[in-house]
Amino acid sequence: MLCNRQVIKYNYGFSNVKKRAYLDGCAVAHALDIIGDRWAMPIMRELMLGPKRFTDLRASLPGISANVLTQRLEELEAASILIRRRLPPPAASQIYELTDWGRESEILFQVLGRWACRSPTMQPGQPMSNVSVILSMRTMIDRGRIGDMDAAIGMRFGEEVFRATLKSGDFIIHRGETEDADVIFSGDQNALVAVVYGGARFEDVADVLTVEGDRELAERFIRLFPLPPKAPSTVTPETTAS
């Protein structure tokens, strides 16, 4: 069991960043020391598919302030989870990207995501970032449903473009071109979320999401990501009132 978090602060090795620690030998407690603060994991999530600039991170995390984002980036850099580097001219901008070890944390997002999907208190319909949508597909894909599908699926969400490949029962999705894709979804990523996870029809979101290509294949694709059943709620009117 984790002990209460101590007010004592400590330095990250070579860094001047200071954080509170559980002072617990459990590795889970240490994981919470370095990624347990608010916004740490969403920042890591947004970098999972590649580097981003500070302004890009703020745009994909609209609830975070510039000061908090700066602080979390410094803490994650001090923990060797991400690095920052400057692109050469003409871009000459600073970007943040996960280290190899930082990218290994994707399994944590997948396990935690599948577990949290069963939460009886999770509210559907909350907005998701482009990267969050793509990672959710990596997490929820049911490879047993792929069968004989051999196709490329493109997704265009604003300026970001992604490509999913289905072949031999496997599923790969990452940033990539869509020109030769069998199906291309373009528009609002949250409209696609509503279709994939919320039971909406393409007709329901036609004003914000377009579907080009093989419509039958598109219908098969959206059924590859079933949600697990909800865990039973232990909350009753009596417990809520008390």
pLDDT tens digits, one per residue of 221-232? 999 999 999 999
CATH homologous superfamily, domain 128-221: SCP2 sterol-binding domain (3.30.1050.10)
CB-based contacts of 68, cutoff 8 Å, min separation 6: 38, 39
Average pLDDT (215-222) is: 98
Show me where the domains of the chain are located. Answer: 9-104, 128-221
> Does 9-104 match 128-221 in CATH topology?
no
CB-based contacts of 26, cutoff 8 Å, min separation 6: 2
Report helix, strand or coil for 20.
strand
Question: What is the structure's pLDDT at 237?
Answer: 72
Could you tell me the strand order of the sheet in which 209-213 lies? Answer: 170-175, 160-167, 151-157, 183-187, 209-213
Average pLDDT (9-27) is: 69
Pick the residue with more confidence: 1 or 79? 79
The CATH class, in words, for 9-104 is mainly alpha
H helix intervals, 180-236: 189-196, 215-221
Name the pLDDT band for 17 (thresholds 50, 70, 90): low
